Structure 1
Amino acid sequence: MSSYQKEIVKIKHQGREIHSVSYMPNSNEKCPVVIFSHGFNGTNVDFAMNSELLAENNVGAICFDFCGGSVHSKSDLKTSEMTIFTEKEDLSAVVETIKTWENVDPDNIFLFGGSMGGLVSALVADEKVEGIKGLLLLFPALGIAEEWNRRYPTLETIPDIHELWGVRLGRVFFESIHGYNVFDHIGKFNKNVLIFHGDQDEIVALDYGNKAEKVYPHAKIEVFPGEGHGFSETGNRRVAEMTYEFVKANS
């Protein structure tokens, strides 16, 4: 018999539905929970291994598909309707939903985000400082706004649709971050932050991980030699184990 229950959970908010998967320990005690946010064009499956490791060790996990977050998403919205702010609303809705669950310790909710999901997790943590116990960022894409604003410096230059890696992004994605400075909206989170970053990342420069470490009052960066944007199996396993250790140390 498995030591945890894996279940599909549908979370409704703002007229849309989020497809999520919960991995909860078979225990009547309230447990800490890690909410995993995938990166651009990812899905809940990206952090299944991490979630299973946690759930087998009495830590709950929730993985979900951002609405419009991927061509493979099982949640609502088209990719052309998604922005980092709709993703922020999605993650906030997941936080608010699970903290009411009987088997969740509402004082021990952790956010873990990869790449664009790391950016979104960082933004939510800054707004919900009281409600979030710790933050884990895997090669967080903190340069998204800066880089797109360089590419489309004026609102007139923004196209109706921009296809990136096979994903159709709408004008709203770029308009919503026009003139937006990410670093003005992160860094207030005053609890522990753990950042994982590879030194060979060609999508999100290690500089962003290093900058994030300096922005937070209590952050530590773990640099993975030879890892890029998307870790090897060995790297991912180490991230999963360090995540468990972080939760245990901070719960």
Structure 2
Amino acid sequence: MNTTINLSNTSYEKTLTYTNHVSFHIKEVTITNTYNNEKIYAKIYIPDIDGKKLPAIVLSHGYNGCGDDFETECTYFAQHGYVAVAYDFCGGSTKSRSSMPTTKMTIFTEKSDLISVFNFVKNLDYTDNSKIFLLGGSQGGFVTALAAEELSNQVSGMILYYPAFCIPDDWRQNLKEFKQLPHELDFWNMKLGQDYFESVLKINTFDEIGSFPNNVLILHGNRDAIVPLKYSNKAINLYSKAHLYVIEDEEHGFSPKGVDFAKKTVINFTNKI
């Protein structure tokens, strides 16, 4: 299903549900990646609600980003009764507080980070492990989709902001000029290593995703110059329960108004599951 949203028209607000805001606190933790023993820095936004297990949302940032990129969303989700967990991918940015150099990061090391964080969240004594959602943006959206294929029904629902399903295609094009894969390459203010290129060139995105059985929500701006909208349009046809919101005049990385719409739409989505 595909819906186009014009943020200058506030009629969409009538479709969104709201709950009373609750207070929350933030806990910093270090999580061990169970695949490679790297250390993952994370912040947990914990609603101040006693006596019940709470639903959770795990948020995965984009290329050369960090968990704090989702501070607005985490605050909002926690205020609405969700445990929100945002973390730094190992080697995922020049400002990552997790271990590992950026030259060792690949799509698959990030996938292993996410699965390790998911398992950590699932075993917290205050989370409802039957209601855990994954949210990812850009490269983190691609990684989230890959992880959801493996985790399957353990994940209650998946939310993707402008998921970078184009990454393998882009690198196949970008690396054509090289006679052999570069040992290291500076890309968008971050140094990547040969492992990244070797692994990503083996992926055909739409052979890797689409079998996740539960609800999928994708939000994508129609002016995204980094990830063409056609990739999200193709993705929703692979999933059995997918809804794409095309947000008019939004680019790659939402405006404050776009973020406001997105976070409210996410809670509306998760509250119905």
Q: Same fold (TM over 0.5)?
A: yes
In the alignment, what sits opposite 1:232?
Answer: 255
Partner residue in 2 for 1:223:
246
Higher relative contact order (CA 8 A, sep 6+): 2
Q: Which residue of 1 aligns with 2:97?
A: 74
Q: Is the 2:153–2:214 contact (alpha carbons within 8 Å) kept by the matching residues of 1?
A: no
After TM superposition, the structure 1 = structure 2 runs for residues 68-217 of structure 1, keeping only pairs within 5 Å, are 68-152=91-175, 157-217=180-240
**Aligned partner of residue 217 in structure 1, secondary structure:** coil
Q: 2:30 aligns with which of 10, 13, 16?
A: 10
Distance 2:177 2:207 in 1: 20
CA distance in 2, matches of 1:31, 1:199: 34
Given residue 240 of structure 2, which amino acid in structure 1 is its aligned partner?
P
The answer to whether the 8 A contact 1:32-1:247 is kept is no
| Per-residue CA distance 1:41-85 (angstroms, 9 max, x = gap) | 110111111111111111110000000000010000111110000
Q: Secondary structure at the match of 1:157?
A: coil
Give 1:157 shift.
2.3
Q: Distance in 2 between matches of 1:17 and 1:100?
A: 18
Q: 1:155–1:178: 8 Å Cα contact kept in structure 2?
A: no
Q: How many residues align?
A: 249
In the TM superposition, what is the alpha-carbon distance from 1:24 to its structure 2 partner?
1.1
Q: Is the 8 A contact 2:60 2:140 kept in 1?
A: yes
Amino acid paired to 1:201: D
Tell me the residue number matched to 2:77: 54
- Alpha-carbon distance between aligned partners in 1 of 2:57 and 2:112, rounded to the nearest angstrom: 17
User: What do you get for the CA RMSD once the two structures are aligned?
Assistant: 1.3
Given the two structures, how large is their TM-score scaled by the length of structure 1? Answer: 0.96
Indicate the SS of the match to 1:215.
coil
Superposition misfits of 4+ residues, deviation over 4 angstroms: 153-156
Q: Which runs of 5+ in 2 are unaligned?
A: 1-21
> What letter matches 1:115 in structure 2?
S
1:156-214 deviation per Cα after TM superposition (whole angstroms, max 9, x unaligned): 52111111111000011000122311111110011110000000000000111111111
Q: Secondary structure at the match of 2:95?
A: coil
- Alignment TM-score, normalising by the size of structure 2: 0.89
Instruction: Indicate the larger mover: 178-187 or 65-74.
Output: 178-187
Q: CA deviation at 1:222?
A: 0.3
- 2: CA distance between counterparts of 1:245 and 1:217? 20
Separation (CA, whole Å) in 2 of partners of 1:227 and 1:141: 15
Amino acid at match of 1:12: T
CA distance in 1, matches of 2:205, 2:99: 26
Counterpart CA distance in 2 for 1:154 and 1:129 is 38
Aligned residue for 2:237, secondary structure, equals helix
SS at match of 2:85: strand
Residue equivalent to 1:32:
55
**C-alpha distance in 2 between matches for 1:147 and 1:18:** 28
Conserved? CA contact 2:221–2:250, under 8 Å: yes
Q: Which amino acid aligns with 2:43?
A: V
